[in-house]
Amino acid sequence: MLNDRLSSVKNTNEFFQMITEYGLPNTYVKQESDINNIVNELIDGNTILLLDKIDKVLIVGSSGWKDRAISEPTSENSVRGPKDSFTENIENNTALIRRHIKSPDLRIESFKIGTKTKTMVSMAYLEGVAKEEIIEEVRERLGRIKIDGILESGYIEELIEDTPLSIFPQIEHSERPDKISASILEGRVAILVDTTPYVLIVPTIFFQFIQSVDDYYQRFPIGSFARLIRIIAYFISLILPSMYIALTSFHQEMIPTTLALAIAASREGVPFPSIGEAFMMEFTFEILMEAGLRLPKQAGQAVSIVGGLVIGQAAVQAGIVSQAMVIVVALTGISSFSIPAFNASSSGRLLRFPLMILAAALGLPGILAGVSIIIIHLNSLHSFGVSYMEPFISADKSIIEDPVFRNPWWKINRLPGYIARKKIVREAPNMKPGPKSDSTEKDDNS
Amino acid sequence: MMQKKETISNNQFRDILICIMWPTTITYGSGILARKIGRDMWISGIIGVLTIIPFVLLIIYIGQNFPGKTVVQYGQDLLGRVLGKVLGVVLTLYFFIISSSSILIYIHHLTDFLLPQTPFLVLTALHVFVISYLVWKGPEVIARTSVIAFGAGIIFYFLVFMASLSEIHINRITPFFDSGVANVFKSSLKVDTFIGASQVLIAMILPMVHDQKKAFCSAASGLLIGGSFFIFYFIVELMVMGPHVVALMRIPSMDFVRSIQITEYFHRFESFMVALWYWSIMIESGILATCSLSAFMQTTGIKKKNPFIIIVFALMMITLTFYLGHNRVLYLNLREHIWPYFSLPVDFGLPLLLFLALVIRKKLHMIKSK
Amino acid sequence: MRKIALGLILILSLLQTGCWNAREIDELAFVLSIGLDKTDYGFKVTAEIASPETYSKTPSGSGTTQKAKPFWIVTSTGKTIFEAIRNMASISSRRIFWSHIKVIIISEQLARSNTLEIFDFFSRNPELRLRTLIAVTPGEAEKVLDVVPVMEKNPAIYLEKIIKNKNLTGKSYDIMLKDFIEDYLDPNVGPVTSRIIIDKSKSQPIVKTSGAYVFDDNKVSTVLTEEQTRGLLWIKNKINESVIVVNCPYDDMPVTLEIKKSKSSIKSYLDGEVPHFTINLKVDATITEQSCLTNFNDMEKLSKLEKALEKSICKDIQSTIITAKDINTDFPGLSLTLHSQHRKEWNQISSKWDQLFKDSKVNIAAKVTIHHVSLAKPLEPIKMQK
């Protein structure tokens, strides 16, 4: 067939036109004459076809990168649920999202950010569900970034947050496609960045960091209980060392008499005040944690043995710290790991040190002043127009619903009103399942 | 950036009102009332709360005639420029003194009972810092934190109830109306010196409430819930300790909390109770300080909050708190004997005055339009 | 940036002079009970401090010495109580910490002179709690605290528990500081405290509770015997699980009855200016031991036993009321009942209460129900067939 067409060509221009339209049918072909665009396309991996005596060039789409196979997520494990994770190629990631959400309302808008890296960044949202103001705001903030290179979504996160000086993260990230699709369905906007598997989700509320995908796949009492445990664990990791310092140094009357005498007995002969011991043990724990992240896998076992048994036990035997302190530090450390999001648990770990200083200076009122400053700060944070502590602050019964106790799936029939447009119904009413009743007309099965 | 007009939801409005009703009343209030009328202080409490509600209705009615304006702003419309400015100055000072006195009560708790050796000035400076951080962030943040304070208050009362169940003697609050009905009514005025600030507070924050039609409902439910909190506390305190012991103490609530316990192992939990009570007193001081600052800014015409004003404000509050509170004898005398002459005219006189002015204005309009 | 600097300045200034109130837990001396005695110049205060080594569970580095006393006694004197306490610092290396105190023991000699200063000190001090138990002892308080108790590590915990066991014996009284001060401040009511004695009859002295002391004004005026104390407990509705021995109506052998539930209410009325009181008691009891062979499953015999118990209760209460009238102190608290039930009349006659109390008439009506006998017939040995 090409031969027939070739024979009908009269001059070079017609030949060029024919090749553009029919020459390479399995990929896209474009004509281009601007030298900057030509260079960009070449760097993107496409092929340039130059023909003698023609002043335009043909760009043939041929970019294809070698990338990793889809594997399990490394940082967000779940007991039940899909086990695929995003990869470094944005086209793959987009495809993974489209596999979950097959509606034509899913819009993906792309930008190229970074003057030297020209990284492709895409916004994904559901038209008609996500609020217009949020979409507009994301577009505007992404558009104003001017930087030489974007290597990870963390760069974008810091460049578009509302309160960059705060310890608390205001944008969540994830590498699981099911989590991203669930967020998009709720009306959030996902930001995908090329060369990294971590996708950002905006807007974010504090309680998202306490939730994990597992809660929604397991049955609702298990999910609610797990969330409650995580909230308690967050508080423990924040205030347990400071409470220990405050109670044993300032408020000994609050401890029951026999326990107070037992703690006094265990502290006999320890040279440092309890404040000093607390700081020493906490720093040692932080060093151990950092070391654990960097070690190669084979040496990981040795670190846990050395850290846990030797340092803890030997320090107690030598009389450098008291036993109660070792228990406190261990419990704090374990609690800080039970929170699924690393950035949120780090905020708890970091804030524990100023609280220890305040507890050492003023006891329980010092901890109170510190915690109240933290809570005032949390209450004043916003994330893209949504208040950070929603729905806890709206003072009605929705406090008890989604953040802490998960409603069963047959009851979640509205989207959270602070994120999506109001009154969007996602489930038909009366979805609660039950056995078939005797009469044949009524069928209650979902 | 996305900017919205400052609004607080009705539930948050109700929670703010609850937070200003009970913290100071249960500490200094119970001692002062017990010295005045003994066993019937809870009946005075009920009468005091019910007395305020019509005035709240009045203030909300007046405020809704001037939508979007606080009392300092429409005071200038109603009373003329000079009197309006005088009103603004009076309100600024009034709110400032109450806010300082509230944070002072907390610092008294700390320096008298929990941390006796810490210098007064250090604790004052720390807590005024927290309050000025609240004022800097604005009333929306205060409203959100008041939800936590309400929750803390519920846990506080639940613990008090559980711990004192084994110790209550009903015969300590009988007979009712022991001191005579007239005396009970007279001392309900003393209750109003503690909770009467709610009328003027509502006058300042009413424009920010989201649903104006239901504002009275939220305000009334806030006052009633807050009132029932401290009346419940009075009753339990009388039943556990008896009116003579309550009259003996300067701050009976600390001795009360120390004399109840939940089981053998959770005893002496007074620091824990102070921690729960602290949220409400922080909200109370915070919202009153915010009102003082906005009254000042609206009287002098400054539009934007800049840090310099906040710092000056904080320093003045530290000075006032130190001078009022360092000498406990002076503070008790002031609060018990002298303060009613200042607070009652402002609390009750202001709504009546504004109402009168509104009625006169409406009549004048009607005459003019004829 | 400015906010961070301001915050740092404030925080660092907090640490400048050290932590003012911080005390390490191992430099505190936990005082668990305190004894007050009278000396020529003022007061002698004895503090009994718990020694933490006896509470440590892990073996410490050095080997254990021989069994040391698990508590320390520190004594000091002074013109006033607080001065005596501060003088303790010259002999105690650890800081005296009052917040865990359980019992206050006052010697009778001190309690018979002016006690105003003692209770003033205890009400003002913020470290103490108003839940501390109060007891008076006939001898010296210091000796009571020095006795090593049989079952507990610490005399204070032992004392606290035996005082609270008044439920089981029914022969002693317990009162907390807050209730004591409430009665102390009321001009018409006389407060009552527990009574602790040292029983020196065995080789090792033992501390026990027995009876009560009555305060009049602010001094101790009388001792109540065990029966009178029981009468007082009946009136105040504090009898819970105690045990009463009555004589069987047919044989004069003893029968032990355990009180399961008792409820007392006092009704009063005024006849002219003479108050009349009626004390109504409703009691539920069970038979726990009998030495006579009567079968109390028979309703008629049971009602006779009930009447016997009623008589015994009335006798106890009568002796209490007679004692109260003799010393002219209203420690049963009858004035409170009159006040709460007849407010108007009370306001007129309250100034003459002392005189009126002597003339008042008290009726006692007790109703006992024995509802459980435990055995279907008495444990009568079957006679051997001859």
- Let me know whether C89 and C184 are in one domain: yes
- Let me know whether C153 and C267 are in one domain: no
Query: What does the DSSP 8-state code read for residue B335?
Result: I
Out of C2, C21, C131, closest to residue B117 by CB = C21
Residue A445 lies in a domain: no
- Let me know whether C78 and C42 are in one domain: yes
Q: What is the pLDDT of residue C384?
A: 55
* Residue-range definition of the domain harbouring residue A17: 2-60
- Let me know whether C244 and C211 are in one domain: no
Is the pTM higher than 0.95? The answer reads no
Out of C13, C176, C340, closest to residue B175 by CB = C340
- Let me know whether C146 and C258 are in one domain: no
d(CA C163, CA C133): 8
- Let me know whether C337 and C386 are in one domain: yes
Give the pLDDT confidence of A314-366 residue by residue, as tens digits: 888 888 888 888 888 889 988 888 888 888 888 888 899 999 988 888 888 88
Handedness of CA A388, A394, A398, A401 (dihedral sign): positive
Residue B4 lies in a domain: no
Give the pLDDT confidence of C224-263 residue by residue, as tens digits: 888 888 888 888 888 878 888 888 887 788 888 888 888 8
Residue B131 lies in a domain: yes
- Let me know whether C47 and C162 are in one domain: yes
Predicted confidence (pLDDT) at residue C109 exceeds the cutoff of 50? yes
Residue A223 lies in a domain: yes
- Let me know whether C145 and C194 are in one domain: yes
- Let me know whether A199 and A221 are in one domain: no
Q: What is the pLDDT of residue B99?
A: 92
- Let me know whether A223 and A293 are in one domain: yes
- Let me know whether A364 and A248 are in one domain: yes
- Let me know whether A257 and A377 are in one domain: yes
Measure the CA angle with vertex A60, ends A54 and A65; round to 5°. 150
Out of C181, C336, C343, closest to residue B171 by CB = C336
Residue C257 lies in a domain: yes
| Contact state of C178 with B174 under an 8 Å Cβ cutoff | no
Count of domains forming chain A? 3
ipTM associated with this complex? 0.88
Residue A76 lies in a domain: no
- Let me know whether A94 and A53 are in one domain: no
Residue B139 lies in a domain: yes
- Let me know whether C206 and C252 are in one domain: no
Q: What is the pLDDT of residue A68?
A: 84
Mutation for testing the B interface, residue in A380, A394, A400 having most B CBs under 10 Å: A380
Count of domains forming chain B? 1
Collapsing DSSP states into helix, strand and coil, what is residue C369?
strand
- Let me know whether A185 and A293 are in one domain: no
Residue A186 lies in a domain: yes
Burial class of B30 by CB neighbour count within 10 A (0 to 12, 13 to 18, 19+): buried
The letter for the amino acid at B176 is F
The encoded tokens of residue C328 equal 């002219």
Residue C80 lies in a domain: yes
CATH number at residue B210: 1.20.1740.10
Collapsing DSSP states into helix, strand and coil, what is residue A363?
coil
Q: What percent of chain C has pLDDT over 90?
A: 0
Residue B84 lies in a domain: yes
* Residue-range definition of the domain harbouring residue B335: 10-365
Domain stop point among C169, C194, C224: C224
CA of residue C138 relative to chain centroid, distance: 15
* Residue-range definition of the domain harbouring residue C165: 26-52+69-224
| Contact state of A393 with B12 under an 8 Å Cβ cutoff | yes
The encoded tokens of residue B319 equal 């000075």
- Let me know whether C149 and C83 are in one domain: yes
Q: What value does the mean pLDDT take over residues C49-72?
A: 65
CA of residue A12 relative to chain centroid, distance: 56
Identify the closest residue of chain A to C70 by CA–CA distance.
A261
Give the pLDDT confidence of C71-106 residue by residue, as tens digits: 888 899 988 888 888 888 888 888 888 888 889 999
Q: What is the pLDDT of residue C9?
A: 65
d(CA A265, CA A248): 12
On whether the CB atoms of residues B357 and B79 are closer than 8 A, the answer is yes
Identify the closest residue of chain B to A367 by CA–CA distance.
B275
- Let me know whether A174 and A237 are in one domain: no
Residue A353 lies in a domain: yes
On whether the CB atoms of residues A125 and A107 are closer than 8 A, the answer is yes
* Residues of chain C neighbouring B310 (CB-CB closer than 8 A): none
On whether the CB atoms of residues C198 and C147 are closer than 8 A, the answer is yes
- Strand segments, DSSP code E, in A50-118 are 57-60, 106-113
- Let me know whether A96 and A180 are in one domain: yes
Count of domains forming chain C? 2
The encoded tokens of residue C200 equal 């020196």
Domain stop point among C191, C224, C257: C224
Q: What is the pLDDT of residue C324?
A: 87
- Let me know whether A248 and A294 are in one domain: yes
The encoded tokens of residue C208 equal 């026990």
Residue B3 lies in a domain: no
| Contact state of A251 with B264 under an 8 Å Cβ cutoff | no
CATH number at residue C296: 3.30.300.210
Q: What is the pLDDT of residue A403?
A: 67
d(CA A113, CA A145): 7
On whether the CB atoms of residues C256 and C287 are closer than 8 A, the answer is yes
Q: What is the pLDDT of residue A413?
A: 62
- Let me know whether A371 and A257 are in one domain: yes
Shortest distance between the Cα of C201 and any Cα of chain B, in A, equals 34
- Residue indicated by tokens 């000025």: B132
Grouped pLDDT means (10 residues each) for chain B, 370 residues: 65 90 88 86 89 90 85 82 88 92 89 82 90 90 90 91 82 74 85 86 88 88 91 89 85 84 74 88 93 89 84 92 88 88 88 88 87
With contact defined as 3+ CB pairs under 8 Å, the chains touching A are B, C
B240 touches chain C (CB under 8 A): yes
- Let me know whether A144 and A254 are in one domain: no
Nearest alpha-carbon partner for C333 in C260, C237, C259, C236: C236
Q: What is the pLDDT of residue B301?
A: 81
User: B257 Cβ partners below 8 Å, 6+ apart?
Assistant: B160, B269, B270, B273
Residue A74 lies in a domain: no
| Contact state of A395 with B126 under an 8 Å Cβ cutoff | no
- Let me know whether C265 and C204 are in one domain: no
Out of A251, A372, A379, closest to residue B282 by CB = A372
* Residues of chain C neighbouring A362 (CB-CB closer than 8 A): 14, 19, 21
On whether the CB atoms of residues C106 and C118 are closer than 8 A, the answer is yes
| Contact state of C19 with A261 under an 8 Å Cβ cutoff | no
Domain stop point among A204, A226, A245: A204
The encoded tokens of residue C210 equal 């027995």
Residue C17 lies in a domain: no
Sheet with A172-174, side-by-side order of all strands: A106-113, A119-126, A189-193, A199-202, A172-174
The encoded tokens of residue B264 equal 């053998």
Parts of chain A with a pLDDT under 70:
1-2, 393-404, 412-418, 420-424, 437-446
Identify the closest residue of chain A to C101 by CA–CA distance.
A257
The interaxial angle of helices B41-64 and B197-205, nearest 10 deg, is 30
- Let me know whether A145 and A48 are in one domain: no
Residue C107 lies in a domain: yes
- Let me know whether C269 and C212 are in one domain: no
Residue C285 lies in a domain: yes
